[in-house]
Structure 1
């Protein structure tokens, strides 16, 4: 059976060829930085991988596939957990890999900290821009499998609408011949953010690199102390997040986009939906995806509603 033959369609999803071959990075990438929530320094090394292997994390010889099967709910981030080991805040890196077409790669994370069972991807500047730039610097190449053959890249085409909901937040997707994302946020208590919408076809990695990847994570100034008391954002600063006060507006301008918070939610959504990928397939469903007041847990709920590959 070919790799494509392993992708069984269902009434909800049809797996079809994208007309492209699976890719990997041409050379290794390595970046070191501080983690947003733990505040600890970690090094990420991304290496080329065989076609069909997909994307996976290696933490001290423990392998954790970048798959929804291993996603664990955690506050303000996406965490992958397997056999007592976990890697946290994977969404920005996975977003960049999915959008730029890195279908297969090994992601090794190391830290000088003695607590090796739980690691976190560095936040860098709070966006995916540095990851995209690193990928562009080394370039991509066609991935071959372990017997030296290239493999076609498959994509999930939605056949009927699917949705997930938590209170007044939702993610819904409708059949479409291309990936289109519409995202809305509503921070009525913070006038400088307010209600924002962003909508676009995701056509090629160039659009993502220029319009989505530079968007930084954001936080509400009045919530910072509470979050830190809860053990979160220990590594957060004005260097890796844009901070907005309910009464004083943006505290560290300028913004890179007028709607940068909403665009960052699109960045997060792409990273979380990439967890539907496996075996070097495309994770993003070919669909018009509409998200309103979404978050990592809701994104995971949505992906779990999609039928997985056996």
Structure 2
């Protein structure tokens, strides 16, 4: 073999070693991340389940009001922010041109995404609790959280809309459909999985939020009857149990319920997304 061929073989071997090394780092990172998440979940759920016998589930210190309040505030916040976020994403992706207004909107979205949650809490307390006199209530908390999750819904929905091939739009327009009809019947159904992901991510942000909730929704450990009632969510309840050292057994149990709550919402959202997507395709 010549020196040139030996040099080429050496370069190929070096490239193979680099590729194997990079793959090894990637696989290690994946398994490490998965292992950490699994370890945290198993630790929380195990401690929550084995201590369930020592917890009063349906008595005077029941956790059921906190579950109801969490579901209540999630439903209100998502109902407020989802239409606004989706319409904004449609405007930015389908109608907006490269001008100062669009740059201003995108800058506002990026700035909103980087604001700490405690700032949202202070804003919600000043504007909704005091300014609009909604007081510490589920409505104040939902309005605050709806502003907080808007960037998630807008950015994720916009990326989902961008993933729809241009040929699909052009085919619909070539058949005589209007731009609005194309967006409604072609673009949105194709982007629906990404839109549902944006809603799921928003729900996860709401369920795990503490600072913005206890400054607006309050910490009363009872089920809210109306949106103007104060109520404690699961995350706030968990924070108070752990911070005050009231009961780590109840804190672990609350964390387990919180994990199951998010899991159930994700499963229900995925099921609804599939049914809704099939219905739109039929129409």
> TM-score scaled by structure 1?
0.21
Q: For the pair shown, which has the larger CA radius of gyration, 1 or 2? A: 2
Greater share of helix: 2
Greater share of strand: 1
> TM-score scaled by structure 2?
0.23
